[in-house]
Chains A and B, each alone.
Chain A
């Protein structure tokens, strides 16, 4: 069994793997091919009689649209801000939850709960029960403190969306960091204490380096999900007010389901694929570097 694979075995293996790979390829390639095909057509389902090849016109129009560039910027801001908030809060929460205190398991469960709420439900709860300027909890809080009421979704649409996303995803980051913290050798911490490290030094020299792989993993997984955030925007602000929270995904939705412009939506979709690939390549490099010299971080 252990001898090197002969050519016959290789063929058997290939034959066994082929169906799964084939299905996967079809799964991926058919929608992609269709998107590419439609992105080169003038195709609006409202006037099917005007269907036809237009070359790169859809891309050209998209690239000349100032909204496209600003929405690309907003997508990156959304991803970046949500990542920063979730990672920082996740670390803080993980450090808190790692300590022994009464009711810890319940606290952990509560801290984890938001992750299991569906995005649309989370968005609705935030929109109607927390951030609503008239009957939201936040407006009640601020007004009972004598502060002016903030109309979150109208005046701070992007900030509000980042808050909602962070609320949902911080538990995930916390969970990963907590697991990582628990795998930390006790001796190392003790040694550091004995050497007289203060808490800040402990954190930056011992804990953070230990967490760096977990951070890389969280950043990678989260960015892939954050790039495709849609439900939260759709439910709370509808890309507005004005264009203030229109991201790349929302533009694609608007082109496809408000304008029924399949050609333009497909072109936008391809840009999203390219953007996701760029981000993924950068992240994979980052991870790969960390993986190659794990001893660096112990």
Chain B
């Protein structure tokens, strides 16, 4: 009898052991933007529907996420099953075979509903290597109440010179209203997103046709001088450490008269729990300098699966869930239409409730005017608006970003900063063997 009960106990242990082994753990690395936080919250639904799946989240600020994820995938460490990466990484990593392609996408997912522009940006040779969670361009956020008070009319296409004038008029630090808030935190995906697009419209480019960095050109000098003056005169204090997140918080708290940044932050401004500018925020095209090209960037935070993931099939199922029409409906039901992930699906923009929102159509317009192959007036050898889709750009962009932040902080002159950026970029491109 004793033996029997022992055997039974053993069997039970073994069975529960196998039951435990059947549970699949998916580790998801993502960026701490509001849309991803919503996804993390709603994913408990997914776990409920799929009892065999356990989701582990790693949520980090943009710069840290990039370092972690890049190290992980390049060393094949395999710590993550799902990565949140963007239109910069996907084409490079897809080509290297580091990502699992999305093939045989289920019919009810309706991939045709996803904007072709975004799909192209996430594909290599027509193979999709990541599914967009949201997609964005950039535009100008401004406070229509302040503009009306000052009697300023927003033109169809504002220029940077105009923005500077308005910032000067509306700058009122005594009342905690700053003329303009722009990113200053160094990083190729932080300050260089805004500095890069600004420089584009001043006719500057990262590399010439021979891939030689061109950062000491008169166009770069003009653009960075303009940016540094603008921020030093009419920006908030400590601007050199403000990234997207800090500026979003500042604008939502009513501290900024103008702000050029990601269209995806617009929804946040309509969340009364976070934003004091629900009724006063308005949107316009991102300003231009001397040329119209490259004022709007194109970016998508997308979900990809590294080729090291042993649970690629399960991971794909989650990715389809998190980017589906049903998910968007769910967010709309829970948090309102302003909070749904923007810029990915035509069907979202067919919703009467959604297209009514003041930023919806403007987001589409900005995305549609973003041409990654024509970043500026002069021809460029690279694809990308605020970045170049080459592996070296992370390093180049980080170096330029650091140098520009140094000039913004007043540590160096603009000329010195650009020379530092030039010599660093030159070294990186040489080491990589471009010339």
**Which residues of A approach B to under 8 Å, CB–CB?**
42, 44-50, 57-58, 61, 64-67, 133-134, 151, 154-155, 157, 238-244, 254, 257-261, 263-264
User: When the two chains form their complex, are residues B409 and A133 in contact, meaning their CB atoms are under 8 A apart?
Assistant: no
Q: Which of B74, B391, B394, B408 contacts A241 (CB 8 A)?
A: B408
Q: Which of B96, B238, B411, B428 contacts A244 (CB 8 A)?
A: B411
Alpha-carbon separation in the docked complex, A66 to B237 (Å): 31
Q: Indicate whether B310 reaches chain A with its CB closer than 8 angstroms.
A: no
A47-B432, A133-B237, A259-B395 as given contacts; A240 in contact with B402, CB under 8 Å? yes
For chain B, residues 390 to 424, give those with C-beta under 8 angstroms from any C-beta of chain A: 391-392, 394-395, 398, 402-403, 405-412, 417, 420, 423-424
User: When the two chains form their complex, are residues A45 and B75 in contact, meaning their CB atoms are under 8 A apart?
Assistant: yes
Which residues of A sit under 8 angstroms from B94, Cβ to Cβ?
Answer: none
A42-B431, A50-B432, A50-B433 as given contacts; A155 in contact with B409, CB under 8 Å? yes
Q: Indicate whether B186 reaches chain A with its CB closer than 8 angstroms.
A: yes
Q: Indicate whether B70 reaches chain A with its CB closer than 8 angstroms.
A: yes
User: When the two chains form their complex, are residues A260 and B74 in contact, meaning their CB atoms are under 8 A apart?
Assistant: yes
Q: Contact size class for B?
A: 35 or more
Which residues of A sit under 8 angstroms from B433, Cβ to Cβ?
Answer: 42, 50
User: When the two chains form their complex, are residues B406 and A241 in contact, meaning their CB atoms are under 8 A apart?
Assistant: yes
Closest chain B residue to A132, Cβ basis: B238
CB distance from A39 to the nearest CB of B (A): 13
Q: Indicate whether B430 reaches chain A with its CB closer than 8 angstroms.
A: yes
Alpha-carbon separation in the docked complex, A254 to B430 (Å): 17
Alpha-carbon separation in the docked complex, A200 to B392 (Å): 61
User: When the two chains form their complex, are residues B406 and A243 in contact, meaning their CB atoms are under 8 A apart?
Assistant: yes
With most chain A CB atoms within 10 A of its CB, the pick from B67, B411, B412, B417 is B411
Q: Indicate whether B71 reaches chain A with its CB closer than 8 angstroms.
A: yes
Which residues of B sit under 8 angstroms from A67, Cβ to Cβ?
Answer: 420, 423-424
Q: Indicate whether B333 reaches chain A with its CB closer than 8 angstroms.
A: no
Alpha-carbon separation in the docked complex, A235 to B398 (Å): 17
Alpha-carbon separation in the docked complex, A264 to B403 (Å): 20
Q: Indicate whether B240 reaches chain A with its CB closer than 8 angstroms.
A: yes
User: When the two chains form their complex, are residues A240 and B405 in contact, meaning their CB atoms are under 8 A apart?
Assistant: yes
Which residues of B sit under 8 angstroms from A61, Cβ to Cβ?
Answer: 427, 430-431
Interface class of chain B by DSSP: helix
User: When the two chains form their complex, are residues A261 and B411 in contact, meaning their CB atoms are under 8 A apart?
Assistant: no
Which residues of A sit under 8 angstroms from B402, Cβ to Cβ?
Answer: 238-240, 242-243
Which residues of B sit under 8 angstroms from A64, Cβ to Cβ?
Answer: 427
User: When the two chains form their complex, are residues A66 and B423 in contact, meaning their CB atoms are under 8 A apart?
Assistant: yes
CB distance from B47 to the nearest CB of A (A): 33
CB distance from A286 to the nearest CB of B (A): 36
CB distance from B413 to the nearest CB of A (A): 10
Which residues of A sit under 8 angstroms from B75, Cβ to Cβ?
Answer: 45
Alpha-carbon separation in the docked complex, A42 to B392 (Å): 14
User: When the two chains form their complex, are residues A257 and B428 in contact, meaning their CB atoms are under 8 A apart?
Assistant: no
User: When the two chains form their complex, are residues A242 and B403 in contact, meaning their CB atoms are under 8 A apart?
Assistant: yes
User: When the two chains form their complex, are residues B420 and A243 in contact, meaning their CB atoms are under 8 A apart?
Assistant: yes
A46-B391, A61-B430, A260-B70 as given contacts; A241 in contact with B423, CB under 8 Å? no
Besides the known contacts A242-B407, A242-B409, 16 further A-B residue pairs in the complex with CB atoms under 8 A apart: A46-B70, A65-B424, A151-B238, A154-B410, A240-B402, A240-B406, A240-B411, A241-B406, A241-B410, A242-B411, A244-B406, A259-B395, A259-B398, A260-B71, A261-B431, A264-B431
User: When the two chains form their complex, are residues A243 and B403 in contact, meaning their CB atoms are under 8 A apart?
Assistant: yes
Alpha-carbon separation in the docked complex, A243 to B400 (Å): 11
Alpha-carbon separation in the docked complex, A192 to B122 (Å): 82
User: When the two chains form their complex, are residues A259 and B238 in contact, meaning their CB atoms are under 8 A apart?
Assistant: no
CB distance from A111 to the nearest CB of B (A): 32
Closest chain B residue to A255, Cβ basis: B395
A44-B432, A258-B395, A261-B431 as given contacts; A242 in contact with B405, CB under 8 Å? yes
Which residues of A sit under 8 angstroms from B186, Cβ to Cβ?
Answer: 238, 240
CB distance from A169 to the nearest CB of B (A): 26
For chain B, residues 20 to 71, give those with C-beta under 8 angstroms from any C-beta of chain A: 67, 70-71
User: When the two chains form their complex, are residues A44 and B391 in contact, meaning their CB atoms are under 8 A apart?
Assistant: yes
CB distance from A191 to the nearest CB of B (A): 55
CB distance from B178 to the nearest CB of A (A): 13
CB distance from A241 to the nearest CB of B (A): 3
A134-B237, A242-B403 as given contacts; A257 in contact with B67, CB under 8 Å? yes
Alpha-carbon separation in the docked complex, A222 to B241 (Å): 31
Which residues of B sit under 8 angstroms from A157, Cβ to Cβ?
Answer: 411
Closest chain B residue to A244, Cβ basis: B411
What 6 A-B pairs come out closest when comparing CB atoms?
A242-B406, A241-B409, A259-B395, A45-B74, A46-B391, A241-B406
